[in-house]
Amino acid sequence: MDNAFVLDFLRRLAANNTTAWMQAHRDDYLRARDAFADLVTEVLRRAAPVAPELAGLTPAQAMFRLHKNDRSQTEPEPYKRRLGAGLVPGGRHAERAGYFLALMPGGGSWLRAGRFTPTPAELVAIRQEIHYSPDEFHRRLADPELRRYFPLGLDMDAAQLTRPPRGYAATDPDIAFIKLKSFGLNSYFSDAEVLAPGFLDEVLARIAAARPWVTFLNEALGGNG
């Protein structure tokens, strides 16, 4: 693994985010991509005892493309400023909750856990599970180990409905959660933490802490983990 080179490459890319620059530095990009793949490989290997549902997942299935697929005129840069992977059973685009790892210089590296882009059918299922099992929902989010690594808990700044969804009263005690369109936990790493010898341990600790929450979501979606 060479996290230092990955951060350095991404730092240079952020200052030169053009197709021409990327073409001139393709060898550096390939080296950074391979280094990030090594990191993902090691995370998956070491995650086997912690999250066995990730067994068999490969870096190729997990890693996101660096090239943007949704570029607009207001955001002309062709490349993302991070390298990321979706550690999700079935791969990065599977309709499941999971863990999302990214390296991004300037303290933007993260380990996120949850379901961030649920389909309409998934939203129905997750909201129903919160409504039917509120005690379990709150118990998992209040778990001391989870709050140790994700102190802010569920991201309440995520996209949400302006009104309660059909079938739910505005007076429902959990309506603030039910209105959410994304259900995730966020934790960030400084560059120093990414470069520290214990970085892998920190990533694995966050996966272990978040797994009961991820399992809650996947059970709502009809799975076991």
Give the tens place of pLDDT for each residue, 47-92. Answer: 999 999 999 999 999 999 999 876 544 568 999 999 999 999 999 9
Taking phi first (over 0 means left), then psi (-120 to 50 degrees means alpha), and beta for anything else, what does residue 8 get?
Answer: alpha
* Domain tally, the chain: 1
* CA 210 – CA 207 distance, rounded (Å): 5
Residues of the chain under the 50 pLDDT cut: 72-73
Asked if residue 19 is part of any domain, the answer here is yes
Torsion sign (Cα): 184, 126, 222, 64: negative
Asked if residue 76 is part of any domain, the answer here is yes
% of residues, the chain, pLDDT over 70: 96
Asked if residue 117 is part of any domain, the answer here is yes
* Alpha helices by DSSP H, the chain: 3-15, 19-24, 26-47, 59-62, 120-132, 134-141, 144-149, 175-178, 191-195, 199-220
Q: What is the pTM of this model?
A: 0.94
Asked if residue 12 is part of any domain, the answer here is yes
List the domain range (segments joined by +) for residue 189: 3-220
Give the tens place of pLDDT for each residue, 156-176. Answer: 999 999 999 999 999 999 999
Asked if residue 42 is part of any domain, the answer here is yes
Asked if residue 225 is part of any domain, the answer here is no
